[in-house]
Amino acid sequence: MESRRGSVAGLVGVLFLVVALVATMFLIRRPQVLENLAGSEKSVVSLVPDSLRLNPNGTLRVYLDPKGKKVVFARVVVGYDKKKIKLAADAEISGVFGNRVRTGAATLANEAGKVELVAAVKPGTNVSGPVSFATLVFAARDEDKTLTSRVQIETASSQIVTADGEVLPLSGAGLVANVTSERVAKQVSESDLGLSLYSFEQNGAKVLNVSWQEQESRGQKLSGYRVALRRATDQSLVAPEDPFVGTATNFQFPLAGVPSGRYLLTVRAMYADNVVKVQTKYLVFENGEVFVEDNGALLPGRRPVALLLNPGFEEMVNDPAKPSDLDPKGWITAEGEMEPGTGNEVSERPEFAQVLSQVNGVGPLSGKRMLKNHTEFLLKSHVRQSYLQAVRDGVLVQKLAVFVPGQAKFLQQAEIRKAVAGEEFHVRWMDSGTNYCWRTGGGDNNPKDYCVTKGPLGTNVWHQYLILLTKQEGKVNSAGESQWKVAIFLDGKQVITSGENGAPYLSPADERFGRFFLGDECQGGGSCDGVGTMYFDNAEAYWYN
């Protein structure tokens, strides 16, 4: 019985391979039209509806009606005028066609002016009745212009193949859909959205960060924001295309491959009833640098002021307690037994915090050296350094690379403080998760009153953090303290941002940030909680004023 079942299963598999081979043969040669259908009869493949209005988007469906024929393979190419309209999202192929070869990525389609959809049914199945093959969502290239255009199925490039290897004819009604979009009168006003621009290196590539202040509704419903970077010469868009970023208040443009020249940056706050607030700035890219153009003169864009010495731990000094162990130059190091509740060092363990080139197969992320930090409950270890100047406005950028070797338990953290004491913000890495906490205000003695826990860091791999603290000019909390927008990125992906998903703004005590702390200390009393070994690199900090 088992042998017979295996034979049947093998036969089904062979039959599907034969069908796939037939479909492939038809894919690589031009289809032959076997017969013409009457012009009034729907084509085997058709676009529904045949008249589409964009407001601002519109949905077209590609319908397949094989009229009783058993279809196993479909390749449909839909063309459009890429100068007038675009795919607003990736195409979606129906679940009936389970083996998808080309799914219609919007980015590729908008470059070519056509979307290619290639799929086959699952083994042992076919499609013989009317079914939706794919869904396409289109939008106008320019919402402020009236347009007429069309979308059409390119019959010469499309094939519908049956289980018998027959190519079904593609002719008749439904192959073309007319597209219109009327310009909507909008109340557009030039406004100060509080744009903040700066560039930085991320994973070896230059990135332009654009952030703005959250806009009040003032009786109007805020729909969200659009950000566009265009070439000043012809107003053509630089990828990504005019993205709608929802209610987020920052966006990052990768600058890799962007040629030198003059560009126009536009941020639009979109409200209901067609109210739009707009702020624009002309930028100049030159030799990898970004400049802001102001009143015809070129002024340097925000240039960073370095805040930490020896951020990559490349320079070291001999530990006084054990000269063979090397401490990071420029950093204050505390290691050994700590007094609970104070963090004061009772006895030193010089091997707990060390600058190393390699250990246990772990090497630095960049450069020749890294920092190892080890802690065992009462036996603690940390390094700390005051910023070269206190940050009271602008943008504070704190970077850090973190490596967690495989171990049962670990708990260490990075802190941004106002001075020697006064923790304003921390990231705490634990085997059970990663904890992000910061102070939202209410007096100097108010603790970090916002915390959220995300997943734990993956072990045995370097991770890179980018933490941005941006002062919101003119905004204060209920206690009259300044508000700073927190944006945290891990390995290039956004983790948490103030103003999104309930995350509040940070309000630092004494209106300043003044020190960076890395590791663990004994402030909790009792047995203390820090444990485990971690490695750190690239602890860079900058102030953009």
Same domain? For 198 and 240 the reply is yes
Largest CA distance in the chain: 95
Range with the largest mean pLDDT of 140-144, 181-185, 398-402, 437-441: 398-402
Q: Are 270 and 353 contained in the same domain? A: no
Of the candidates 476, 364, 453, 456, which has an alpha carbon nearest to the alpha carbon of residue 406? Answer: 456
**Cα atoms in the 13 Å half-sphere on the side-chain side of 220:** 15
Q: Residue 522 in contact with residue 343, Cβ under 8 Å?
A: yes
**Beta carbons within 10 angstroms of residue 135's beta carbon:** 15
Place of tokens 């303290």: 481
Q: What is the CATH number of the domain that holds 244?
A: 2.60.40.10
**301, 336, 370 - which closes a domain:** 301
Confidence (pLDDT) at 184? 59
Task: Tell me, yes or no, whether 360 and 493 share the same domain.
Answer: yes
Is 360 found in the same domain as 247? no
Instruction: Say yes or no: 434 and 409 in one domain.
Output: yes
Q: Judge if 364 and 497 occupy the same domain.
A: yes
Residue range 506-530: mean pLDDT, rounded: 79
Q: Is 166 helix (H, G, I), strand (E, B) or coil?
A: coil
Residue 383 belongs to a domain: yes
Q: Is residue 6 part of a domain?
A: no
Residue 16 counted as domain residue: no
Q: Name the residue range of residue 228's domain.
A: 188-301
Is 14 part of a structural domain of the chain? no
In whole angstroms, what is the distance from residue 43 CA to residue 37 CA?
8
Q: What is the mean pLDDT of residues 466-483?
A: 88
For CA atoms 182, 183, 187, 193, the dihedral sign is positive
Shared domain check, 397 and 533: yes
Do 118 and 239 fall within a single domain?
no
Least-confidence region, from 60-69, 82-91, 190-199, 361-370: 190-199
Q: Is the pLDDT of residue 444 over 70?
A: no
Tokens of 508: 């630092």
* 270: pLDDT strictly greater than 60: yes
Integer Cα distance of 464 and 55 in angstroms:
41
Same domain, 194 and 168: no
Report the alpha-carbon distance of residue 141 to residue 83 in Å, rounded: 7
Residue 534: pLDDT band (50, 70, 90) is very high
pLDDT (tens digit, 9 = 90+) per residue, 13-69?
433 443 444 444 434 333 333 233 233 477 899 999 988 888 777 889 999 999 899
Q: Which residues contact 529 (CB under 8 A, 6 or more apart)?
A: 377, 411, 520
At 1 the pLDDT is 40
Q: What is the pTM of this model?
A: 0.59
Q: Is residue 438 part of a domain?
A: yes
Minimum mean pLDDT range among 9-13, 77-81, 351-355:
9-13
What value does the mean pLDDT of the chain take?
81
Any domain includes 284: yes
What CATH number is associated with residue 91?
2.60.40.680
The residue type at 299: L
Residue 525 has pLDDT above 70, yes or no: no
Domain identity same for 291 and 347? no
Per DSSP, the three-state class of 157 is helix
Where residue 273 falls among pLDDT bands split at 50, 70, 90?
Answer: low
Q: Could you give the percent of the chain with pLDDT greater than 70? A: 82
Q: Which two tokens stand for residue 147?
A: 């347009």
Of 267, 301, 335, the domain-final residue:
301
State what percent of residues in the chain have pLDDT above 90: 37
Do residue 324 and residue 293 come from a single domain?
Answer: no
Domain boundary among 136, 155, 181: 181
283 in the same domain as 421: no
Of 136-145, 194-203, 357-366, the range with the highest mean pLDDT is 357-366
Cα–Cα nearest to 207, from 464, 473, 504, 513? 464
- Domain with residue 342: its CATH number is 2.60.120.200
Among 347, 331, 449, 468, CA closest to 397: 468
* Minimum mean pLDDT range among 32-36, 208-212, 364-368: 32-36
Distance in angstroms (rounded) separating the CA atoms of residues 207 and 230? 16
pLDDT at 128 over 80: yes
Q: How many domains does the chain have?
A: 3
H runs (alpha helix) in 231-308? none
CA distances from 508 to 50, 305, 445 (A): 58, 20, 11
Residue 155: band (very low, low, confident or very high) from pLDDT cuts 50, 70, 90: very high
Beta-carbon-side half-sphere exposure of residue 124 (alpha carbons within 13 Å): 6
Q: Is residue 293 part of a domain?
A: yes
> Would you call 105 exposed, middle or buried from its count of C-beta atoms within 10 A (0-12, 13-18, 19+)?
middle
Whole-number pLDDT of residue 200: 74
The DSSP bridge pattern shows strands 275-286 and 187-190 to be parallel
Q: Is residue 12 part of a domain?
A: no
Q: What is the DSSP letter of 408?
A: S
Q: What is the band of 143 on the pLDDT scale with cuts at 50, 70, 90?
A: low
3-state secondary structure 462-497: EEEEEEEEEEEEEEECCCCCEEEEEEEEECCEEEEE
The pLDDT score that the predictor gives to residue 8 is: 33
